[in-house]
Chain A
């Protein structure tokens, strides 16, 4: 149990286009999901906390109008990178919080490359 999936696993897009990344908790309901970003050879940096049915909470320095987060159901959160640019190329990772385990479970990540 406690499996989190992400789709797509890898995406390449042209500069200026928008990309949507899905994060799903497959066998549990997650009221809280988190989105992280990881640049090469660096650690994970939290971008935002996503709560089902309410607006996401963004970390300082993360543009909420550029990184749109929607958590419309207890098993799905989406991150849309709008008007992507090469500097947005990164590894995007989501996690979902499972209260019964008091733990976060991570998705496999999505590698975004913006040309």
Chain B
């Protein structure tokens, strides 16, 4: 799987939007962009995924660059419960059940 690069940590104020960046310059045409988050002492939780178009769900939005070499996870109003490690992962869509390779992720800290 192609590699992703994320900042080690970010800080946000409560109730403000958060933009979490991810670079994936070696992404292939068959790679989906997935985001998971892991709250302290819990297993990862699916957040969102996309291929080419921007995506929205109840948790977040995913903005994908036109060349697909980067993407941004957007939390519209951060809450204290959003403090977690956020992982950006590429997964080849031709291998539907394939394993996920976790990088270091971004540790998001939310200040009250």
Task: Kindly provide the distance from the CB of B19 to the nearest chain A CB, expressed in whole angstroms.
Answer: 22
Q: Number of B interface residues, CB 8 Å?
A: 20
Q: Mark B67-79, 1 if CB is under 8 A from A, else 0.
A: 0000000000000
Q: How large is the interface on A (under 10, 10 to 19, 20 to 34, 35 or more residues)?
A: 20 to 34
User: How far, in angstroms, from A46 to B89 measured CA to CA in the complex?
Assistant: 14
The answer to whether B101 and A99 have CB atoms under 8 Å apart is no
The answer to whether B43 and A104 have CB atoms under 8 Å apart is no
Interface stretch, picked from B23-31, B55-63, B92-100, is: B92-100
Interface of A is mostly: strand
User: How far, in angstroms, from A74 to B63 measured CA to CA in the complex?
Assistant: 36
CB neighbours (8 Å) of B97 from chain A are 31-32, 97, 99
CB neighbours (8 Å) of A45 from chain B are 102
The answer to whether A44 and B102 have CB atoms under 8 Å apart is yes
Task: Kindly provide the distance from the CB of A44 to the nearest chain B CB, expressed in whole angstroms.
Answer: 4
User: How far, in angstroms, from A34 to B42 measured CA to CA in the complex?
Assistant: 16
Knowing A99-B96, A99-B97 are in contact, say whether A43-B103 is a contact too (CB < 8 A). yes
Task: Kindly provide the distance from the CB of B7 to the nearest chain A CB, expressed in whole angstroms.
Answer: 14
Q: Mark B32-54, 1 if CB is under 8 A from A, else 0.
A: 00001010011111100100000
The answer to whether A46 and B96 have CB atoms under 8 Å apart is no
Q: Mark A54-93, 1 if CB is under 8 A from B, else 0.
A: 0000000000000000000000000000000000000101
Instruction: Known A-B contacts: A44-B38, A104-B46, A109-B43. Give 13 more (CB < 8 A).
Output: A43-B103, A43-B104, A44-B44, A46-B100, A91-B41, A94-B43, A95-B44, A99-B96, A99-B97, A103-B46, A105-B46, A106-B44, A107-B43
